[in-house]
Amino acid sequence: MKVFAYPRVSTDEQADKGNSLIEQKERIAAYCRAMGWDDPIFFIEDGYSAKNLNRPHLTEMLQRIKNEPGPGIVITTKLDRLSRKLVDILNLNEYFNKYGYNYVSATEGFDTSTPAGRLVLQMLGMVAEFERERISERVRDNMTSIVTNSKRVVSRPCFGYNVIDKKMLVNLEESLIVKEMAEWAIEGKGPREIAKRLNARGIKTKEGNAWHDKIVRELLQRETLIGEFVYNKTYRKDSKTITRDPSEWITVKDHHDPIIDKKDFEKIQRIFIGRKTVGRHISNETYLLSGLLICSHCGSKMNGKMNRSFSKKLNRENLHYQYLCDGYLKKATCFHHFVRRDEIEELIMMRIEELASKGTGKLKLVVSKPTNPKDDIAQLKAKLEKIDKKMQKQLDAYNEDLISAHDLKLASEKAKSERAVLTQLLNESSDDKQKKDEAQLQVRAKKSLKDIISGDRLKAKQEIRKLIESITITDGEKLNIIWRG
């Protein structure tokens, strides 16, 4: 039986007694020996908190569980090593159960294979979440008091400033660049053009990365640049940054020296708002392939954009619908290239019509779900590995004179027979799965074709996404379509 162990420490817990990675590993290993389980496979998370599930080794373990269905065990020393949020704990355990794994807490004495264990799990999860919310509330109240009653800095500095002795001080070299950025913005240069100029001069962000339009916009919208310190402006939820209502912000004026004038700052905000209104792209429904097209040169998405031109000869304005590389448009990290919307969309529709009428041929498939989850390739391979392990145990028993040569021969013949059956099933499963995926894709293409060519662009966009995973395009000509299986 597979045992996946998950030790975790956050940065603040490194020195806590009982929470170190070494102690967690020792406790888990001892528990597994006492239970007579196989040696655990460790997924060690160093320096990540339990506030959310965005942790690299947790993600790796979840993918391994999906690829290697149980029976199996997921073990931690304590429940809070897994998460401090009840909803995350319950979701993780639902995921474990889906793939045949039970969860065990080594020091809290329960496992989810029993009703009592599931009840205790929910109760402890509620306590862990309550404790986290209480700690967060105390920290928030403390930070609010610090911000309102002193000029101490409780956040990282933005570009243009350094924090020295908990005070926000102007970084002379960076401040000159910020002033130049503000001048460009007032002159009418957009965030993308500003990012392009900075990158061309080899100037890096505070984190040492290349500039792109979002970073430029966010910097020039920060009240920090006019000497104000704003706390409680945003919060994180499900890996997203949410802006609170302005009435909840805590603003300290004259907190530190400004870099740009307040009038210039307000002028920049008006310009940005105007650009957002005038330059807003036409709704995504106009572009059937937004999010699907990928630039082969830089790997960025290619999204729809409308450009205008005026024909003096015809005395009229012309509209040009295109898919433009985001690497060029937003990050200034790719060269200017595009593909005309109508041409690429017509070509994709033709490919779908061919698929519906002639079948898959040599189309490349991306299989998002196994054809038969209960008897898929991964499970067959796991069964083969299990037979090999059993045979190895028989050999070990024979070498230790625990079984006779006759018993070993019988076991070997049985294993050989079972292996032959599973190997045949594995080969058939691979071939059948490919054929089934191709047949199902053709059926779905036939079903979707009516909506795709109906003229209703919203319906067409939705149906195309059911058939296509991605489209990589090179120089506006060469296409590589990855179809959903």
Strand, helix or coil for residue 447: helix
- Kindly report the CATH number assigned to the domain that includes residue 36: 3.40.50.1390
Q: What is the pLDDT of residue 107?
A: 86
Q: What is the pLDDT of residue 283?
A: 45
Q: Where are the alpha helices (DSSP H) in 36-76?
A: 56-67
Which one is catalytic: 10, 20, 113, 155?
Answer: 10
pLDDT digits (tens, 9 = 90+) for 185-208: 988 888 888 998 999 999 999 999
Whether 5 and 40 have beta carbons less than 8 Å apart is answered as yes
The low-confidence residues of the chain, meaning pLDDT below 50, are 15, 17, 277-285, 367-371, 373-374
Whether 248 and 140 have beta carbons less than 8 Å apart is answered as no
Whether 241 and 234 have beta carbons less than 8 Å apart is answered as yes
Q: In whole angstroms, what is the distance from residue 283 CA to residue 180 CA?
A: 34
Q: 136 with 164, same domain?
A: no
Q: What is the pLDDT of residue 150?
A: 63
Q: Within 13 Å of residue 238, how many CA atoms lie on the same side as its CB?
A: 1
Last residue of a domain, one of 302, 320, 339: 339
Helix (H) or strand (E) holding 316: strand 316-325
Q: 252-282 burial string, b = 16+ CB within 10 Å, else e? A: beebbebbbeeebbeebeebbeeeeeeeeee
Q: 79 with 156, same domain?
A: no
pLDDT digits (tens, 9 = 90+) for 393-434: 877 777 777 888 778 788 888 888 788 877 777 776 655 566
- Kindly report the CATH number assigned to the domain that includes residue 180: 3.90.1750.20
DSSP letter at 281 equals P
Q: What is the pLDDT of residue 102?
A: 92
Q: What is the pLDDT of residue 361?
A: 56
Q: 20 with 117, same domain?
A: yes
Using only the alpha carbons of the chain, give its radius of gyration.
Answer: 30
Number of domains in the chain: 4
Q: What is the pLDDT of residue 338?
A: 82
Cis before residue 71, ω within 30 degrees of 0? yes
Pairing of the two strands 240-243 and 250-252: unpaired
Q: What is the pLDDT of residue 446?
A: 87
Q: 181 with 227, same domain?
A: yes
Helix (H) or strand (E) holding 272: helix 262-278
The domain of 319 spans 287-339
- What are the distances in angstroms from CA 410 to CA 317, 392, 403, 407, 422? 86, 14, 11, 5, 19
- What are the distances in angstroms from CA 257 to CA 148, 175, 178, 251? 17, 11, 14, 15
Helix (H) or strand (E) holding 29: helix 21-35
Rounded to 10 degrees, what is the CA torsion of 8, 11, 16, 20? Answer: 40
Q: In whole angstroms, what is the distance from residue 409 CA to residue 326 CA?
A: 65
Q: 313 with 351, same domain?
A: no
Q: 295 with 272, same domain?
A: no
Q: 121 with 6, same domain?
A: yes
Burial of 426 (0-12, 13-18, 19+ CB in 10 A): middle
Strand, helix or coil for residue 478: strand
Last residue of a domain, one of 107, 142, 177: 142
Q: What is the pLDDT of residue 95?
A: 92
Strand, helix or coil for residue 360: coil
Q: 116 with 77, same domain?
A: yes
Q: What is the pLDDT of residue 19?
A: 67
Q: 325 with 428, same domain?
A: no
Q: 55 with 101, same domain?
A: yes
Query: Is position 10 annotated as part of the catalytic site?
Result: yes
Burial of 341 (0-12, 13-18, 19+ CB in 10 A): buried
Comparing CA positions, the residue from 351, 197, 181, 344 lying closest to residue 264 is 181
Q: 372 with 441, same domain?
A: yes
- What are the distances in angstroms from CA 277 to CA 75, 283, 286, 330, 452? 53, 13, 18, 17, 31
Terminal-residue alpha carbon distance, the chain? 31
Q: What is the pLDDT of residue 284?
A: 43
> Which residue in the block uniquely carries the two structure tokens 């243009």?
160
CB atoms near residue 313 (< 10 Å):
5
Q: 324 with 403, same domain?
A: no
Per DSSP, what are the bridge partners of residue 162? 169
Which tokens sit at 235? 């919060």
Last residue of a domain, one of 110, 142, 174: 142
Q: What is the pTM of this model?
A: 0.39
Q: What is the pLDDT of residue 149?
A: 66
